[in-house]
Structure 1
Amino acid sequence: MAMPVEVEPVPQAWPRPPFTVDTLFELPDTGLRYEVLEGALVVVPPPEPAHNLAADRLRERLMSYLAVEVEAITNAAVRLPSGDGPVPDLLVTTGDPAEHPRGFPADLVHTVIEVVSPSNASDDRVKKAALYAGAGIPCYWRVELRSWREHFGPVPAIVVRLLGDDGEWHTTLHPAGETHRLPVVVDRTPTIVPIEIDPAVLLGRRR
C-alpha cells in the first residue's frame, strides 16, 4: 500500500518592479496590506482599533446621506492614471464593485477619506494628498485622531480639502466639540452633499 506523500506548496513568486496598482492583486496572501505610492510598494501596518472604529462610524454616517447609486466602500484600491494604487480607508464612488474587482478608476472616485495612523501620517498628509489631487479626485478628507503640528486643539478633527469652482484647492479644519456641515462630492458634476457631523462621535461612546 502506497504511503501518502506530503507535497510542499510552491511559494508564490514575489512581484518585481515596476510596481503598479495591478501588483496589489498579484501579491501572496501574507495577512498584510499594501499600497503602491509613487511607484513604490508600501506595507500598511495593521491599524489600531480606534482607527477602525472611526472609519466604520464614518461610513455609517455617510451611507445615511448617500443616494442608492452612490457607495461608500472601505479599503478598496484606486487606480490612478500614473499606475499607482493607494488604498484609502474609505472612498465614495458611483462605480459598480462587480465591474471593478481590481480597484476603481480615479474618475469614478469622487471623495477619498484617510484616517491617519502614526506610522504613515506623512503619507496621508502629504503624499496621498498630492496623488489624489493630481488624479483629479475633487474631495479629500483626512481624519486626525491625535493632535499634530498644525492643531493642538480638540480631536478627532477632520481636515477637508475641496476643489472649488475657481479651480483652487480650499482646505478647512473641523475639530471635535461642535457639529459641522462637511462637503462630500458624490459624482463628477460635481454634486456636493453636505454631511452634518461632530467628529467627536467617531471615537466617543455610543448613545
Structure 2
Amino acid sequence: MVAPLEAGPSGFSLPRPPFTVDTLFAMPDDGLRYEVLEGVLTVTPPATPEHNRAADRLGRLIDPLLTGDTEAITASAVRMPGGDGLVPDLMVTTADLEDFPRGVPAELVHTVIEVVSPSNSSDDRVKKAKLYAKAGIPCYWRLEMRPWKEHFGPLPALVVSLLNEQGEWDSTIYEAGKSHKLPMVVDVNRVTMHLEIDPAALVGRRR
C-alpha cells in the first residue's frame, strides 16, 4: 500500500498541510512519484522496469489511434476537484499542455490508465477508482499483472471501466490469451475509439 509521507529527504523540508495538487510541484525530483489522495500526500517507490515497459507499450499502441488535439501522455498530474493531485501512468487528454504546466484539469482528461504494482494495488483498485469517478473522468483502464480477488484467470489482464449515468463504473476484464477490442474515450463528447490488443503483448519479450 502507498504510505503517507512522514519525513522528507535529507536537506529537504516537506511542505505543510493542507496538501493539494500544487504541493506536487514543490517536491524534489528524486525518482519517486508523489500524489495527493483525499488530502494526503503519498509517495510511491520508483516503478520497476516491467511496470514501465507495460506502460510504454500501451502508450505506443494508443498514440497512432489519436487524432487532432488528443494526446496520450505519461506520469503527469491531474488537477482533481477538491484540490487532489493524482498521477496516472497514462492519460488521454485534449488539453493544450502549454496552458497547464502544473497539472491537467480533470475535465480535459478522458481516459486514465494505471499499471498496478504491489505497492499501489489498493489505491488503484479502490481509492483512485472512486476519485476518478467522482471527477467525472469517463474511462479508466487498469492493467493487472497479478491475480486479485475478482480474477484468477490468465494474466496480465486489462480492466476497462466506463462511467455510467449514475456516476458508477461498468467494468469488463479482458484477459491475456486472445485479442480484444478495448474502448477508450478520447474527447469531451465521450467519443470512443477501440484498441485491439491481446494483453499478453504488454509483458515479456517481443514476439
TM (norm. structure 1) is 0.91
Match of 2:47 in 1: 47
Moved more, 183-192 or 164-173: 164-173
Match of 1:94 in 2: 94
For residues 33-66 of structure 1, give each alpha carbon's deviation from its aligned partner in whole angstroms, at most 9, with x where no partner exists: 2000000000011111110010000000101211
RMSD: 1.4
Task: Name the CA distance, whole Å, in 2 between partners of 1:166 and 1:21.
Answer: 27
Task: Name the CA distance, whole Å, in 1 between partners of 2:85 and 2:60.
Answer: 25
Task: Name the CA distance, whole Å, in 1 between partners of 2:69 and 2:85.
Answer: 24
Equivalent position SS for 2:60: helix
- Check the 8 A contact 2:80/2:135 in 1, yes or no: yes
Instruction: Give the counterpart letter for 1:85 in structure 2.
Output: G
Match of 2:8 in 1: none
Gaps of 5+ in 2: 1-10
Instruction: Give the counterpart letter for 2:203 in structure 1.
Output: L
- Check the 8 A contact 2:92/2:111 in 1, yes or no: yes
Matches within 5 A, 1:148-187: 148-164=148-164, 169-187=169-187
Cα 1:187/1:126, change in 2 over 3 Å: same
Match of 1:6 in 2: none
Deviation at 1:31, TM superposition (A): 3.2
Deviation at 1:166, TM superposition (A): 7.2
Equivalent position SS for 1:68: coil
Task: Name the CA distance, whole Å, in 2 between partners of 1:58 and 1:30.
Answer: 25
Task: Name the CA distance, whole Å, in 2 between partners of 1:35 and 1:167.
Answer: 23
Deviation at 1:68, TM superposition (A): 3.4
- Check the 8 A contact 2:177/2:198 in 1, yes or no: yes
TM (norm. structure 2) is 0.91
Gaps of 5+ in 1: 1-10
- Check the 8 A contact 1:78/1:103 in 2, yes or no: yes
Deviation at 1:29, TM superposition (A): 3.1
- Check the 8 A contact 1:14/1:28 in 2, yes or no: no
Deviation at 1:148, TM superposition (A): 1.3
- Check the 8 A contact 1:113/1:142 in 2, yes or no: yes
Instruction: Give me the identity figure in percent.
Output: 64
Match of 2:17 in 1: 17
Equivalent position SS for 2:119: helix
Match of 2:200 in 1: 200
Instruction: Give the counterpart letter for 2:186 in structure 1.
Output: V
Please say if 1:83 is aligned against 2:86: no
Match of 1:69 in 2: 69
Deviation at 1:165, TM superposition (A): 5.8
For residues 55-110 of structure 1, give each alpha carbon's deviation from its aligned partner in whole angstroms, at most 9, with x where no partner exists: 00000010121113110000000000110001000000001111111110000000
Match of 1:31 in 2: 31
Q: Select the structure of larger CA radius of gyration.
A: 1
Please say if 1:58 is aligned against 2:58: yes
Moved more, 185-194 or 30-39: 30-39
Equivalent position SS for 2:17: coil
Task: Name the CA distance, whole Å, in 2 between partners of 1:90 and 1:153.
Answer: 25
Equivalent position SS for 2:88: coil
Cα 1:86/1:168, change in 2 over 3 Å: closer
Deviation at 1:12, TM superposition (A): 4.9
Count, aligned residues:
197
Matches within 5 A, 1:123-134: 123-134=123-134
